[in-house]
Amino acid sequence: MTSPAGGHGRASGATAPGGSPPPSFQDMWRDLAPIGRHAGSGGYRRYAWTGADTECREWFREQAEARGLDYETDRNGNQWAWLGDPLAGDAVVTGSHLDSVPDGGAFDGPLGVVSSFAALDELRRRGAEFTRPLAVTNFGDEEGARFGLACVGSRLAAGQLTAEKARLLRDGDGVPLARAMEAAGHDPGAIGPDHERLARVGAFVELHVEQGRALDLSGDPVGVASAIWPHGRWRFDFRGEANHAGTTRLADRRDPMLTYAETVLAARREAALAGGLATFGKVAVEPNGVNAIPSLVRGWLDARAADQATLDAVVDGVERAAREHAERAGTDLDVVRESFTPVVEFQHALRDEIRRVLGKHGPDGSGRTVPVLGTGAGHDAGILSASVPTAMLFVRNPTGISHSPAEHAAEDDCVAGVIALADVLEGLACS
């Protein structure tokens, strides 16, 4: 990444009231780039309430201050940077997240936050007159990489996750979320629904790098989201009998690894048959010894589909196959649904308004129709859509790869994203 929107940076005179010029997109990107980056993999390990997360949060606060915005952290650890009166109501809010999956890419999350600050700078450069309060946000613990549940910050705020349940979430080392929060300086006693705050939000717009290749295939730098597919996580516990790998006859084994392996194959088959997606991407084995038949194999199924009936068909099919194989192998199976998000249709009125604004200005000046895309990935915008009108913009990702250092957005497309977001915010928040 060299200089997305960099041409409009320090040299442009886009100063915060009474302050020096705000950091350009390029400056922001450069400052954020080393935080939580693993030297070996080149990927990011910015997990909730860790040192890297704290550094990202500090970066956010600095960006707010550099622009003379009112900074606050809400009771659930989400960060807000306000232009205008936060209490006035009907605010236009834009932002995304700064945490990452294990060895994630640079763009998933940070592109939305950096673009939000850059879009606000762009509006100031245009001399826009704001008629509604505007805020940039960083929602905490979006990826769920550490505690296993995605979008914890927005779920808590929207009342879709109780404080009691959240405090009991544990990371891989058994550390409860409450203790991790406390260690990072946030009061876990304060977490819970924040309806009053969300009631002040009139619209939430999240810009995000696309996590597929639809825009690359259509040849568009920016698209608008139609819906987030229903999706969830299911934990499959396969139990058998631990025994010696060298002395136990094949016929005498109750090997849960075999049942797990058959289930992975079934997931692929069921997803292909139904037209959905199913993935076992995480597995834990006990006792996890090279020369031991496992006693327990715990696999997590991530399943998604364009509609609920298809998703049900995939998950039911995988569970049915798993039970059949378990019976044959003499192993036991428990299936627990750990999280689920129903289909999210983004508000049509807001989406149509965004398409109208972008069609008029056109991120590339052509004024052509902006593509509307569905997505299989969950986002804070999806969680918040139950409480406030929400919309999403996607920026082209030529690799189509996501949750990997290979995810990418070209410099010109990042600029197009910032301009598109500024156009949208101007249409919503300015006279």
Q: Which stretch binds Zn ion (CB under 5 A): 103-111, 231-239, 293-301, 304-312?
A: 103-111
Does residue 287 have a cis bond before it (omega within 30 degrees)?
A: yes
Q: Which is nearer to Zn ion, 143 or 270 (CB)?
A: 143
Under rule CB under 5 A, residue 262 binds Zn ion? no
> Residue 261: CB partners within 8 Å, gap ≥ 6?
none
2, 411 in Cβ contact below 8 A? yes
Q: Which is nearer to Zn ion, 355 or 379 (CB)?
A: 379
Provide the minimum distance between the beta carbon of 46 and Zn ion in the complex, in angstroms, as a whole number.
11
Q: Which is nearer to Zn ion, 318 or 418 (CB)?
A: 418
239, 332 in Cβ contact below 8 A? yes
- The encoded tokens of residue 254 equal 């109750």
Least Cα distance to 425 among 65, 23, 142, 115 occurs for 115
Other beta carbons within 10 Å of 376: 17
Q: Which is nearer to Zn ion, 151 or 258 (CB)?
A: 151
Alpha-carbon distance values, 296 to 278, 280, 289, 315, 325 (Å):
22, 16, 12, 21, 15
Q: Which is nearer to Zn ion, 124 or 208 (CB)?
A: 208
Provide the minimum distance between the beta carbon of 276 and Zn ion in the complex, in angstroms, as a whole number.
21
Q: What stretches of 240-324 adopt beta strand conformation (E)?
A: 243-244, 277-286, 292-293, 296-304
Draw the binding track, 366-395, toward Zn ion (x: CB under 5 A; -: no contact): ------------------------------
Least Cα distance to 389 among 196, 206, 184 occurs for 206
Q: Which is nearer to Zn ion, 76 or 331 (CB)?
A: 76
Q: Which is nearer to Zn ion, 108 or 255 (CB)?
A: 108
Q: Which is nearer to Zn ion, 4 or 109 (CB)?
A: 109
Provide the minimum distance between the beta carbon of 156 and Zn ion in the complex, in angstroms, as a whole number.
17
Compute how many residues bind Zn ion; rule: CB under 5 A: 2
Segment 193 to 252, residues that bind Zn ion, using CB under 5 A: none
Provide the minimum distance between the beta carbon of 323 and Zn ion in the complex, in angstroms, as a whole number.
34
Q: Residue 323 and residue 80: Cα distance in Å, rounded?
A: 47
At residue 47's C-alpha, the angle toward residues 41 and 50, to 5°, is 110
Strands 201-209 and 91-96, by their bridges, are parallel
Other beta carbons within 10 Å of 345: 13
Q: Which stretch binds Zn ion (CB under 5 A): 81-89, 104-112, 189-197, 327-335?
A: 104-112
Q: Residue 343 and residue 396: Cα distance in Å, rounded?
A: 23
Q: Which is nearer to Zn ion, 45 or 124 (CB)?
A: 45
Please report the sign of the dihedral spanned by the C-alpha atoms of residue 259, residue 261, residue 265, residue 270.
Answer: positive
Provide the minimum distance between the beta carbon of 208 and Zn ion in the complex, in angstroms, as a whole number.
6
Other beta carbons within 10 Å of 279: 14
Among 9, 95, 105, 109, binds Zn ion (CB under 5 A): 109
Q: Which is nearer to Zn ion, 325 or 379 (CB)?
A: 379
Among 74, 108, 171, 426, binds Zn ion (CB under 5 A): 108
Q: Which stretch binds Zn ion (CB under 5 A): 108-116, 192-200, 237-245, 361-369?
A: 108-116
Provide the minimum distance between the beta carbon of 325 and Zn ion in the complex, in angstroms, as a whole number.
34
Q: In what order do the strands lie in the sheet with 332-341?
A: 277-286, 296-304, 231-239, 332-341
Residue with tokens 């990452």, as numbered in its chain = 100
Provide the minimum distance between the beta carbon of 380 and Zn ion in the complex, in angstroms, as a whole number.
8
Provide the minimum distance between the beta carbon of 106 and Zn ion in the complex, in angstroms, as a whole number.
12
Q: Which stretch binds Zn ion (CB under 5 A): 36-44, 52-60, 107-115, 250-258?
A: 107-115
Q: Which residues bind Zn ion (CB under 5 A)?
A: 108-109
